[in-house]
Amino acid sequence: MTIEQLKSKFIEKFGEGEISGYFSPGRVNLIGEHTDYNGGFVFPCALSFGIYCLVRKTNRKTVRFASMDMPFEAEVKLEDLNKPVGKEWVNYPIGVFAQFMKKGLTFGGGADMLFYGDVPTGAGLSSSAALEVCTAVVINDQFGFGIDKIELAKMGQKAEHEFALVNCGIMDQFASAMGKKDHAIFLNCDTLAYELVPVKLEGIKIVISNTNSPHKLDSGKYNERVAECQAAVKAIQPFKQISALGEISWEDFLKVEDKIENKTVRNRARHVVSEIKRTEDAVKELKAGNLVKFGQLMNDSHDSLRDDYEVTGFELDTMVEEGRKIDGVIGTRMTGGGFGGCTVSLVKDEAVDKFISQVGKNYQEKTGLKPVFYVAEIGDGGKKLF
């Protein structure tokens, strides 16, 4: 859908008048999975698709929410913008409004907001974070609050914790807010120190493969992994004083690994600590132009997520296994929270068509699901369009 078509839809729904437009991207994480809520390193990049919001401020004391993707609409009084509305999608933007209210900020008037997304929902590409960050950028700009983008990312994360009940780390919102075209973000999730690293992939494309097996992060398995990591920290603490798994090196972890009596908890910790090291190593290899080594670390990451963290599943593993059979695939792994969603692969230009046709055919034969492939472009973070 084009911006002009969106404008027409907005006018159809809310009437004539001045309209402003905003965009925040989804993200793909190249490496560093399930490390963010453990205070470790991640390496995501913003995508060229995401969430759009057209908005008009009003003198009413309500905010009207509508979406081109979801049938549910709502009109919420300003004083109620900190209360969930059932289990509807509007809780994501309402959760963001609530964070501004927590800071003692007031809106003075209302707004009409129309959302549209071209990032696939349930694919592990952070459509929810894009929605949260887009809403935060809209509110911040329209009401002139002057909050910096890193704080907006934190507010989006809080909205997800409190209104979607997912104990996510900061990575998704940070990438959506702070992304830069043709760069990935090397982010320390503990300190929020970050570096924008140029992604120079001459002769290579980033291919995202959507398993069309929707991932579910609404509580359950994701929050279970968070709790298991916290249990690992407690088991390590008598031998090394840490408050998060991101604070222990791989070498030190090997010395205390056997002190974690619960095997499942031990495996979860092994994945996290080794993944943090892999992420650091991968960034060094990318900077040095060693893409083959970078790809091998991607492969190792998936295997760890499959064996130690157990968040992949049949569909993701099948997609990765079929991808690894194609000459010209440098590395391939699940990306996002797991339990369905997408894989990310580095594929040589000349192999992209074969990858899409062959992997697509074999995957569908084995799973009964028809996948979708995207040749990704790395885009900018949340911004005003007009």
Catalytic positions are: 172
Read off the pLDDT of each residue in 73-85 and give the average, rounded to a whole number. Answer: 97
| Confidence band of 218 (pLDDT split at 50, 70, 90) | very low
E-strand ranges in the chain read 20-29, 41-42, 44-58, 62-67, 74-77, 110-117, 183-188, 194-198, 204-210, 329-335, 342-348, 372-375, 383-384
pLDDT, tens only, 229-258:
999 999 999 999 999 999 999 999 999 999
pLDDT, tens only, 288-334:
999 999 999 999 999 999 999 999 999 999 999 999 999 999 999 99
Read off the pLDDT of each residue in 87-96 and give the average, rounded to a whole number. Answer: 96
How far lies 319's CA from each of 12, 28, 190, 337, 368, in Å? 42, 16, 32, 16, 12
- Higher-pLDDT residue of 249 and 87 is 249
pLDDT, tens only, 122-141:
777 889 999 999 999 999 99
Measure the CA–CA gap between 104 and 326, rounded to whole angstroms.
Answer: 55
pLDDT, tens only, 266-294:
999 999 999 999 999 999 999 999 999 99
How far lies 73's CA from each of 68, 89, 296, in Å? 10, 9, 46
Measure the CA–CA gap between 294 and 287, rounded to whole angstroms.
Answer: 10
Closest by CA position to 1, among listed 49, 57, 45, 65:
49
Averaged confidence pLDDT in the chain: 95
Whether the predicted pLDDT of 215 surpasses 70: no
Residue 308 backbone dihedrals phi, psi, to 5 degrees? -95, -35
Residue 111 has a pLDDT of: 98
Q: Are strands 329-335 and 204-210 parallel, antiparallel or unpaired?
A: unpaired
Residue 68 has a pLDDT of: 96
Residue 169 has a pLDDT of: 87
Output the CA torsion 239→243→246→252 (10° steps). -10
Q: What percent of the chain has pLDDT over 70?
A: 98
The percent helix, strand, coil of the chain (3-state, each to 5) is 45, 20, 35
Helix (H, G, I), strand (E, B) or coil at 22: strand
E strand or H helix at 251, and its extent? Answer: helix 250-256
Contact 45, 198 (CB under 8 A): no
pLDDT, tens only, 144-164:
999 999 999 999 999 999 998
Measure the CA–CA gap between 346 and 176, rounded to whole angstroms.
Answer: 21
pLDDT, tens only, 162-200:
998 888 889 999 999 999 999 999 999 999 999 999 999
Residue 240 has a pLDDT of: 97
Which token pair is 241? 């004083």
Read off the pLDDT of each residue in 43-66 and give the average, rounded to a whole number. Answer: 97
Q: Is 163 left (phi over 0), alpha (psi -120 to 50) or beta?
A: alpha
| Residue 1: other Cβ atoms inside 10 A | 12
pLDDT, tens only, 357-384:
999 999 999 999 999 999 999 999 999 9
Closest by CA position to 243, among listed 229, 233, 255:
233
Measure the CA–CA gap between 162 and 180, rounded to whole angstroms.
Answer: 28
Contact 351, 193 (CB under 8 A): no
Q: Which long-range contacts (CB under 8 A, 24 or more apart) does 238-246 make?
A: 243/39, 244/38, 244/39, 244/190, 245/38, 245/39, 245/40, 245/269, 245/272, 245/273, 245/276, 246/35, 246/38, 246/39, 246/40, 246/41, 246/189, 246/190, 246/272, 246/276
| Confidence band of 69 (pLDDT split at 50, 70, 90) | very high
Measure the CA–CA gap between 159 and 93, rounded to whole angstroms.
Answer: 8
Residue corresponding to tokens 């084009």: 2
Contact 54, 21 (CB under 8 A): yes
Whether the predicted pLDDT of 217 surpasses 80: no
Question: ∠ CA(172), CA(174), CA(180), 5° rounding?
Answer: 105
Domains of the chain, first to last:
3-198+380-384 (3.30.230.10)
